[in-house]
Amino acid sequence: MQSYLQYQALRSSIFKLVCPESEKQTLDKDWSSSRDSPASDAVSNVAGFAEVNAPPIFSCAHVLQKLDSHCQNPSQQIFIVGWDGPNDPANPRNFSIPRKIMTTLIVGAIALVVGAASATDAAVLPQAAEEFHVSDVTESLATGIYLIGYAFGAVLAAPFSETLGRNIIYASTLVLFAIFIMGSGLAPNIGGQIVLRFFAGFFGSTPLVCAGGSIADLWDQMEKTYAFPMYAMTGFGGFVLGPVIASYVAFGSLSNWRWAEWISLIAAALVLASVLFLMPETFGPLILKWKAQEIRKLTGDDRYKAEVEVAHRTFFMRMKVAVVRPFIMATEPIIVLMALYMTVVYIVQFTFLDGYTFIFKDVYGISQGLTNVCFLGIYIGTLLPGFLIYPIYRITKKDLAMVQAQGRRDLDPEVRLWFGMLGGSISIPVSLLWMGWTDYTSVNIWSPLIASMLFGYGMLCIFLMVYMYVIDSYEIYAASALTLVTFMRYLLSGVMTVVGIPFYRKMGTHWTLTVMACISALLVPLPYVFYKWGNTIRSYSKHAAVKV
Q: What confidence tens digit (pLDDT) does each residue in 481-502 have?
A: 888 888 888 998 888 888 888 8
pLDDT band at 29; cut points 50, 70, 90: very low
Over its C-alpha atoms, the chain yields an Rg (Å, rounded) of 27
Helix count and strand count (H, E) for the chain:
28, 2
Q: Which of 123, 273, 95, 264 is nearest to 196 (CA)?
A: 264
Residue 37 dihedral angles phi and psi, to the nearest 5°: -75, 160
- Which position has the higher pLDDT, 299 or 234? 234
**pLDDT at site 318:** 73
**pLDDT at site 293:** 87
**pLDDT at site 548:** 53
Question: Are 450 and 427 within 8 A, CB to CB?
Answer: no
Find the DSSP H helices in 279-332.
Answer: 284-299, 307-311, 315-328
pLDDT band at 72; cut points 50, 70, 90: very low
Q: Which amino acid is at 183?
A: G
Q: Which of 515, 376, 524 is nearest to 452 (CA)?
A: 376
Distances (CA, A) of 513 to 318, 451, 452: 42, 12, 12
Average pLDDT over residues 239-259: 76
CA dist 40 and 19 (Å) reads 10
- Which position has the higher pLDDT, 16 or 363? 363
Question: Are 354 and 229 within 8 A, CB to CB?
Answer: no
The rounded mean pLDDT for the chain is 83
pLDDT band at 478; cut points 50, 70, 90: confident
Question: Are 454 and 431 within 8 A, CB to CB?
Answer: yes
**pLDDT at site 252:** 57
CATH 1.20.1250.20 location in the chain: 96-279+317-539
**pLDDT at site 62:** 31
Average pLDDT over residues 98-125: 91
Q: Which numeric CATH code is attached to 96-279+317-539?
A: 1.20.1250.20
Question: Are 140 and 124 within 8 A, CB to CB?
Answer: no
**pLDDT at site 500:** 83
Number of CB atoms found within 10 A of residue 389's CB: 18
CA dist 43 and 17 (Å) reads 7
Q: Which amino acid is at 529?
A: V
Q: What confidence tens digit (pLDDT) does each residue in 417-452 have?
A: 999 999 889 999 999 999 999 999 999 999 999 999
Q: Which of 545, 355, 546, 535 is nearest to 455 (CA)?
A: 355
Residue 71 dihedral angles phi and psi, to the nearest 5°: -125, 35
CA 3 to the chain's CA centroid: 19
Query: pTM of the predicted model, to two decimals?
Result: 0.85
**pLDDT at site 329:** 83
**pLDDT at site 38:** 41
Q: What confidence tens digit (pLDDT) does each residue in 521-531 have?
A: 999 999 999 99
**pLDDT at site 70:** 37
**pLDDT at site 61:** 33
Average pLDDT over residues 313-339: 80
**pLDDT at site 78:** 83
CA dist 453 and 517 (Å) reads 15
| DSSP, res 421 | I
* Res. 308: pLDDT tops 90: no
Average pLDDT over residues 57-69: 33
Residue 306 parent element (H or E): strand 304-306
pLDDT band at 67; cut points 50, 70, 90: very low
**pLDDT at site 32:** 38
**pLDDT at site 190:** 93
